Amino acid sequence: EAGVVQSPRYKIIEKKQPVAFWCNPISGHNTLYWYRQNLGQGPELLIRYENEEAVDDSQLPKDRFSAERLKGVDSTLKIQPAELGDSAVYLCASSLQGRPYEQYFGPGTRLTVT
């Protein structure tokens, strides 16, 4: 069974530029999460989807971050414009509905903003 797929794996952009990350969750997982992991820290939740609905986006900086999961499968996280402090690894995870404690993570996208 394929795991969570993310692309790109690495991205280097200049500040004020836009960037987008893509995630394909494990088949059958209705719940999808985006996390940000700063260097030397644990993952921090940005947004959680149940199917197409964003049920927990309280930690998403909505002035510059947006996310979508149009058909309840793939998801895209966007930053526009990027700032130096956005440099981090962006992780996507998925789980079966009702089992948030058993999340499966993708490899992440390492973003460097220069």
Partner 1 sequence: QQQVKQSPQSLIVQKGGISIINCAYENTAFDYFPWYQQFPGKGPALLIAIRPDVSEKKEGRFTISFNKSAKQFSLHIMDSQPGDSATYFCAANDRGSTLGRLYFGRGTQLTVWP
- Which range in 11-19, 60-68, 75-83, 99-107 contacts partner 1 by CB under 8 A? 99-107
CB of 28 to partner 1, least distance (A): 17
Regarding 72 and contact with partner 1 (CB under 8 A), the answer is no
- Are 33 and 103 spatial neighbours (Cβ–Cβ below 8 Å)? yes
Cα(42)–Cα(22) distance, integer angstroms: 21
Regarding 56 and contact with partner 1 (CB under 8 A), the answer is yes
CB of 15 to partner 1, least distance (A): 25
CB of 43 or CB of 79, closer to partner 1: 43
Contacting residues toward partner 1, per CB under 8 A? 4, 31, 40-45, 48, 50, 55-56, 91, 93, 98, 100-108
